[in-house]
Structure 1
Amino acid sequence: MDGATTRLLGPEGLAVTSVEDGQVGPVVHLVPTDEAARRCPECGTRARRSKGRRSTRPRDLPTGGRRPSLVWRKRRWRCDQSSCPRRSFTEAVGSVSARKRLTVGLRASAGAAVADTGRTVVQSAREHDVSSSVVAAAFTEHAARVLPVQPETVEVLGIDEVRRGRPKWVYDDQAQSWQTIVDRWHIGFVDLSGGQGLLGQVEGRTAAAVVERLAARPADWRQRIRHVAIGMSTVFKSAIRQALPHAQLVVDHFPVAQLANATVTEVRRWVTIQVRGRRGRKGNHEWELRNRLTRRADSLSNDHLAELQADLKLLPKRIGTPITAAWNTKEDLLDLLALAHTNPNREQIADLLYRFYCGCAASGLPELERLATTVQTWWLTILAFINTGITNAGSEGTNRMIKTIARDAYAFRNPVNQRLRTRCATTRRARGHLDPR
């Protein structure tokens, strides 16, 4: 056959001798062109005596919408090297490994479909007409090739926890207590300054787990970390102070805003119970305002904002006064957080912070005093967010990716496969697999 047919239908290292029409697709007969096919895989000696032939049918990728049936009449050779422990062997080329029924290209395509195009193992198995176990093994091989063993240096590190599955315990007779063998929480480490995505995960939600994970990295790698973005977690705060004392902690603004909204909701519920003797329900004006009270004032139109302020004035004084104070204090805190990305000076930050503290103190509400204490405790990390604008949104997006992959896969039997799938998914952009073209 001509060279064009070989380039079209023949795997690398094999030449097409003839093509026939089959029931499903073309039947392609192959012979090896690589001289290394007749060299002993043990000692490398070129064989000269044949022990016969055997037919193999390796499966390859479809061509032109049709899957060719490959037929390779392999020779079995004798090794004449007396010192070689291997007496005979069959031909093998790089594209079709020894004792493999699939070509290297088909296995690589099946694994890449899972790692790079977002296919599940079952979807890739159906598309490539192979079993799920073959695709799972091919994905592991592909991930080992494309993912680095050690991550590159990171300037901004994100740390957040994600819930995975259910915990498992065993009873320790010696300690006379139940011990956790599988934790429901995993901690993820994310590159927020580059495209490395998920750097790794560790089971458990303790400071010791974070410190141990970071201590496993080289000292130079740890020294290059300038900022660490976390949620309002004292566990992570303590761990970073131990493992990365030189790095600046940055708390994400989302949990701060969430805490402020939760405080408004708590005040509204408390005053409703105190005045009405029950929980709020339909017909209570403060209950009907619950959603608008947790929205940012800047996100409301002028008419809706004026309507909300008028509705607050119409509430009974014992209900409207504390709710209005909580809402105004919440807005003061959100105004303070909104200074991020605006290059604020110290006077602007101090003025808004003073207004927030004054509102909490003047209200006399224990909920707002507790909110002010929390902000004071975390103020240095909140100030770091205002000055740098660094958020932990990348970690939250990775958590969403972890949950999505778990749902697509109908959960995972072990966390190693899940972490590998997530690492491949979060690095697709950096590896050039999210280009719409």
Structure 2
Amino acid sequence: MVSFVEQDPEVCAPRALLSTRAIRWSIGQLRREGATIQGLARQLGTTWNTLWTQVRPVLATAADDPVRFENVQVLGVDEHIWHHRDPRRRGPKELTGMVDLTRGPHPTARLLDLVPGRSGKAYRDWLDERGEGFRKRVEIATLDPFQGYKNAIDDQLEDATCVLDAFHIVKLAGAAVDDVRRRIQQETLGHRGRKGDPLYGIRHVLRAGRERLTSRQQTRLEAAFTAHPDHIAVEVAYRCAQDLRDVFHQPTPARGRQLAEKLIASLTTCPIPEIARLGKTLRRWKTAFLAYFDTDGASNGGTEAINGIIELGRRIVRGFRNFEHYRLRMLLITGGLDASPHTQL
């Protein structure tokens, strides 16, 4: 009777607690099926700690793989909140996320990294760590209207075109209309909006594009605008916001750019203070705003989509305590590790 032991690292690594196949299956379930570590551990007949101690090194190795950062030509940046506990115990609530928005190599946007803090320094330090080769390859950098990120782009990505996100431009205009409506509401009625107040009744209609309004909604708008002489300010603000929205729906980029330049020049002279403030903001961001029409409509939309996936992932597991665990899990579910062979995806 002869017995022997054979060690095959492709089947199970030395001193590993799970087989390579089990680890690969678990990573795939986390990546594509919205699974949790606890749920997978239950299916494998093991514990949370056992499964995570086997999965985490694979994800960490993939996260450190420089292959992930190759061929990034369009780079997006945005912030999000990863916990709601005391920052003194768990660190900063805000994280800065970098997203690859390059069209072609990957079918969708993919998260590149998460770093603590929402500041220009956090973004600048991350860009500096990537090296000159990475920074030279970035041709377009998209962002929300946050000056800290803009300063980091100007400092580290001198050759890249900075593009202000179109959605947030329209959002600024909508916020200006809301501010005008609330101010006029207080000045005319002396209280916040209530059911039956003309301006309060159209608060949602004011956010819709005018080309989408039904005849009934148009009638409601007209009735509210004419209910009081001071409501003319709300009507003017609404039309200015719609004109700003229209620049992104022109048949050609040249026509859109022309209308945008005209608005930037005229809004600052508006007697309505909220609209004049909007005009000053657009004038300050003029170069990044107009770059939208020179970059085939580059935007931060893919970055916002990645934020949505991150929010979903955090809700599924009902929160994280450890930032590094959070970073690895979010990189996995948002495709940030797909370019690395270590995850076997």
TM-score normalized by structure 1? 0.69
Choose the corresponding residue for 1:335, options 229, 246, 249: 246
Q: For residue 223 of structure 2, what is the aligned residue in structure 1?
A: 311
2:287 pairs with 1:375: no
Shift of 1:316: 0.9
Choose the corresponding residue for 1:272, options 150, 166, 185: 185
Which whole-Å CA distance do the structure 2 matches of 1:207 and 1:348 have between them?
30
Which whole-Å CA distance do the structure 1 matches of 2:70 and 2:14 have between them?
36
Which whole-Å CA distance do the structure 2 matches of 1:422 and 1:132 have between them?
18
Shift of 1:228: 0.4
Q: Any idea what the Cα deviations from partners look like across 1:160-193, whole Å, max 9, x if unmatched?
A: 11111134338xxxxxxxxxx8111110110001
Choose the corresponding residue for 2:152, options 239, 256, 275: 239
Q: For residue 329 of structure 2, what is the aligned residue in structure 1?
A: 421
What pairs with 1:56-205 in structure 2 (closer than 5 Å)?
A: 75=4, 91-94=6-9, 95-100=11-16, 102-144=18-60, 149-150=65-66, 151-165=69-83, 166-169=85-88, 182-193=91-102, 194-195=105-106, 197-205=110-118
Contact 2:76 2:101 in 1 (8 A): yes
Q: For residue 64 of structure 1, what is the aligned residue in structure 2?
A: none
Partner amino acid for 1:183?
A: P
Distance 1:328 1:359, change over 3 A: farther
Contact 2:115 2:122 in 1 (8 A): yes
Which whole-Å CA distance do the structure 2 matches of 1:98 and 1:236 have between them?
45
Shift of 1:250: 0.5
Contact 1:335 1:352 in 2 (8 A): no
Q: For residue 253 of structure 1, what is the aligned residue in structure 2?
A: 166
Q: Which runs of 5+ in 1 are unaligned?
A: 1-51, 54-73, 76-89, 171-180, 432-437
Q: Based on CA coordinates, which of the two structures has the bigger radius of gyration? A: 1
Which whole-Å CA distance do the structure 2 matches of 1:313 and 1:428 have between them?
49
The structure showing larger relative contact order (alpha-carbon pairs under 8 Å, at least 6 residues apart) is 2
SS in 1 for 2:138: coil
Q: For residue 281 of structure 1, what is the aligned residue in structure 2?
A: 194
Which whole-Å CA distance do the structure 1 matches of 2:264 and 2:289 have between them?
14
Shift of 1:288: 0.4
Q: Any idea what the Cα deviations from partners look like across 1:344-382, whole Å, max 9, x if unmatched?
A: 32x653345425754663x51111111111111111111
Shift of 1:310: 2.6
SS in 2 for 1:216: helix
Partner amino acid for 1:381?
A: A
Shift of 1:130: 1.7
Partner amino acid for 2:293?
A: I
Shift of 1:429: 10
Shift of 1:93: 3.4
Partner amino acid for 2:237?
A: A
Which whole-Å CA distance do the structure 2 matches of 1:101 and 1:323 have between them?
66
Shift of 1:430: 5.8
SS in 2 for 1:202: strand
Percent identity between the two aligned chains: 25
Q: Which runs of 5+ in 2 are unaligned?
A: 340-345
Choose the corresponding residue for 2:307, options 399, 410, 415: 399
Shift of 1:142: 3.8
Which whole-Å CA distance do the structure 1 matches of 2:87 and 2:64 have between them?
32
Q: Any idea what the Cα deviations from partners look like across 1:206-259, whole Å, max 9, x if unmatched?
A: 212211111111211110101100000001011111111111110111111111
Partner amino acid for 2:40?
A: S
Contact 2:124 2:156 in 1 (8 A): yes
Which whole-Å CA distance do the structure 2 matches of 1:306 and 1:407 have between them?
39
Q: For residue 18 of structure 1, what is the aligned residue in structure 2?
A: none
Shift of 1:315: 1.4
Partner amino acid for 1:399?
A: N
Q: Any idea what the Cα deviations from partners look like across 1:370-413, whole Å, max 9, x if unmatched?
A: 11111111111111113320111111111122222122122222
Distance 1:412 1:299, change over 3 A: same
Distance 1:343 1:93, change over 3 A: same
Distance 1:359 1:370, change over 3 A: closer
SS in 1 for 2:142: strand
TM-score normalized by structure 2? 0.86
SS in 2 for 1:187: strand
Q: Any idea what the Cα deviations from partners look like across 1:316-343, whole Å, max 9, x if unmatched?
A: 112x21111111111111112333xx43
Partner amino acid for 2:272?
A: L
SS in 1 for 2:319: coil
Which whole-Å CA distance do the structure 2 matches of 1:99 and 1:430 have between them?
27
SS in 2 for 1:169: helix
Shift of 1:298: 1.9
Shift of 1:137: 2.2
2:273 pairs with 1:384: no
Which whole-Å CA distance do the structure 1 matches of 2:198 and 2:94 have between them?
40
